[in-house]
C-alpha cells in the first residue's frame, strides 16, 4: 500500500506534464536531481546503495526519461575548457602547445582560462565555462577547493586533471609525482657527497610544496634535515628572486654546499649569484633546478634539473578528453608519465685526470 508521501509525489508529478519528472524521482529517493541524472547516465559513478534507492523510486513512479528533454540537456558546445595558472610561464606554454597540437583538425575548439594561481579565480572561471556547457574540461593540479571540486564532479562532461597525479581523481588524471621528483633530486645530491643541502622556492604553489616535502623526507631519512636550510617565499618566481633567496639562505646557513631550487628561474639566479660572489660551481656549491627549460643545458656550467613531460601531458590530456567525448573512455584513467633527472655539470665534479 502506497504511503501518503508516495501519493503526494505522484499527484504533484502529474499536475504539469502528466508524467513523473526527474525531480520527483530525486524527491522520493531523497537525493539531488544531479545524482539521479548521474545514476541513470553513468551508474558506476554512484554508490550501489544510492543506485538501489534511485532504481526503486524510478520503478515506483514509473519514470521514463523524456527523449527530447534528455537530448536538450545533453547538448554540448564544441568547446573544451582549459584552466591553467599562467599563460606566459614557459612550463604551461609547453602544455598548451601540446594541447593545441593534439587537437589537430578536430572541430572542437579550445577556450583557455588563466587562474593566476588563485583558487577563487579558478572557481569563477569554472562557473563561466560550465555556463557554456563545454564538451570537456582540462584543469591544472589536484588541489581544487571544495566548491570547485563539487562543480567538476557534477559537470556532466569528461574532466582531465593535469600536471600531477594523486589518489582521488575527479574523472581522469595525467602527470607525475612532484613528491617523488623532490626525493630524486635530494637523493642525487646526497649521493654525490653534499652535506648541507638547501631548498629555495618561490611562489610555492601546491606542486612546489610537494617537491619540498620530497626533499624533506629524504633529508630526514639521512639525518640531515635542518629547517634553516629551507628558504621560500610566496612571491612570484624570477631569476632575480633566485638571487635574493640565495643571499638569504647564505645568511642563515653560510656552510651551504648545495641548493635545490623549485624551478629553473630560481636556479639560474643562484648560478648568477655564485658567479658574482666568486663561488665555484660545483666545487664549492652544487645547484639543481626543476622543469629543465632550455637554458639549463646551455648555462655555464650546465645545470642539473628535473625534466618534466609538459608537452606530452598536454598532448595526452586532449587525447583522453577527445576519446571520452566520443564514448571511448581510456582503460587507464590515471596516467603517470614520470620524470627524468638530467644530471649536468652543476652537480658533477669533473673527473680527475689519469696520472
221-237: pLDDT as tens digits: 999 999 999 999 999 99
Return the C-alpha cell found at 253: 646557513
The whole-number pLDDT of residue 285 equals 97
CATH fold match for the domains 22-65 and 76-176+310-338: no
CA 68 – CA 73 distance, rounded (Å): 9
Question: Residue 66 has what pLDDT?
Answer: 60
Domain 76-176+310-338 has CATH 3.40.50.2300: yes
- C-alpha cell at position 266: 630560481
What is residue 9's predicted lDDT score, i.e. its pLDDT?
Answer: 46
| CB within 8 Å of 349: residues ≥ 6 apart | 192, 282, 283
> Is the Cβ–Cβ distance between 24 and 12 less than 8 Å?
yes
pLDDT at 36: 83
- Average pLDDT over the chain reads 89
Residue ranges in the chain whose pLDDT is less than 50: 1-4, 7-17, 68, 71, 352-355
pLDDT, one tens digit per residue, over 247-303 is 999 999 999 999 999 999 999 999 999 999 999 999 999 999 999 999 999 999 999
Q: Report the pLDDT value the prediction gives residue 91, as an integer from 0 to 100.
A: 92
Q: What is the pLDDT of residue 73?
A: 52
pLDDT for res 74: 55
For 41, the grid coordinates are: 547516465
340 in Cβ contact with 304 (< 8 Å): no
Contact indicator for 262, 212 with CB cutoff of 8 Å:
yes
Q: Quick one: cell of 119? A: 583558487
Q: Cβ neighbours of residue 309 under 8 Å, at least 6 residues apart? A: 176, 337, 338, 339
Phi-psi domain of 139 (left: phi exceeds 0; alpha: psi -120 through 50; beta: other): beta
**Which residue reads 642563515 in cell numbers?**
252
Of 326, 313, 3, residue with least CA distance to 173: 313
The angle, 0 to 180 degrees and rounded to 10, between the axes of the packed helices 4-14 and 48-61 is 70
First and final C-alpha spacing in the chain: 100
Within 10 angstroms of residue 255's Cβ, the number of other Cβ atoms is 8
What top-level class would CATH report for the domain 178-307?
alpha beta
C-alpha cell at 99: 594541447
| pLDDT for the residue 205 | 95
Domain ranges of the chain: 22-65, 76-176+310-338, 178-307
Q: What is the pTM of this model?
A: 0.78
User: Residue-wise over 153-181: b if at least 16 C-beta within 10 A, else e?
Assistant: eebbbbbbbbbbbeeeebbbbbbbbbbbb
Question: For residues 337 and 309, is the Cβ–Cβ distance under 8 A?
Answer: yes
Q: Sign of the C-alpha dihedral, residues 297, 276, 185, 236?
A: negative
Q: Topology of domain 22-65, per CATH?
A: 434 Repressor (Amino-terminal Domain) (1.10.260)
Amino acid at each position: 500500500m502506497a504511503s501518503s508521501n508516495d501519493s503526494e509525489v505522484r499527484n504533484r508529478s502529474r499536475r504539469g506534464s502528466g508524467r513523473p519528472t526527474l525531480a520527483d524521482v530525486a524527491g522520493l529517493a531523497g537525493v539531488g536531481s544531479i545524482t539521479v541524472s548521474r545514476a541513470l547516465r553513468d551508474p558506476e559513478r554512484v554508490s550501489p546503495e544510492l543506485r538501489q534507492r534511485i532504481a526503486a523510486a524510478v520503478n515506483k513512479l514509473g519514470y521514463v526519461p523524456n527523449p527530447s528533454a534528455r537530448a536538450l540537456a545533453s547538448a554540448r558546445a564544441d568547446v573544451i575548457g582549459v584552466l591553467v595558472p599562467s599563460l606566459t610561464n614557459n612550463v604551461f606554454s609547453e602544455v598548451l602547445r601540446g594541447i593545441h597540437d593534439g587537437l589537430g583538425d578536430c572541430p572542437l575548439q579550445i577556450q583557455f582560462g588563466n587562474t593566476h594561481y588563485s583558487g577563487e579565480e579558478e572557481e569563477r572561471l569554472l562557473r563561466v565555462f560550465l555556463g557554456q556547457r563545454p564538451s570537456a574540461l582540462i584543469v591544472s593540479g589536484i588541489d581544487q577547493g571544495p566548491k570547485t571540486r563539487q562543480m567538476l564532479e557534477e559537470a556532466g562532461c569528461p574532466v582531465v586533471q593535469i600536471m600531477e597525479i594523486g589518489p582521488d581523481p575527479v574523472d581522469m588524471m595525467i602527470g607525475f609525482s612532484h613528491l617523488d621528483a623532490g626525493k630524486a633530486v635530494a637523493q642525487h645530491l646526497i649521493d654525490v657527497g653534499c652535506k648541507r643541502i638547501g631548498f629555495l622556492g618561490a611562489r610555492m604553489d601546491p606542486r612546489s610544496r610537494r617537491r619540498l616535502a620530497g626533499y624533506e623526507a629524504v633529508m630526514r631519512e639521512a639525518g640531515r634535515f635542518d629547517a634553516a636550510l629551507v628558504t621560500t617565499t610566496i612571491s612570484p618566481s624570477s631569476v632575480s628572486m633566485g638571487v635574493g633567496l640565495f643571499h638569504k639562505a647564505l645568511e642563515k646557513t653560510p656552510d651551504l654546499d648545495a641548493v635545490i631550487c623549485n624551478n629553473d628561474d630560481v636556479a639560474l639566479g643562484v648560478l648568477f649569484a655564485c658567479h658574482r660572489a666568486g663561488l665555484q660551481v660545483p666545487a664549492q656549491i652544487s645547484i639543481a633546478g626543476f622543469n629543465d627549460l632550455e637554458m639549463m643545458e646551455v648555462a655555464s656550467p650546465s645545470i642539473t634539473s628535473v625534466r618534466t613531460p609538459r608537452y606530452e601531458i598536454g598532448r595526452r590530456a586532449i587525447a583522453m578528453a577527445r576519446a571520452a567525448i566520443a564514448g571511448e573512455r581510456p582503460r587507464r584513467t590515471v596516467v603517470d608519465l614520470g620524470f627524468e633527472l638530467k644530471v649536468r655539470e652543476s652537480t658533477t665534479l669533473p673527473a680527475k685526470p689519469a696520472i
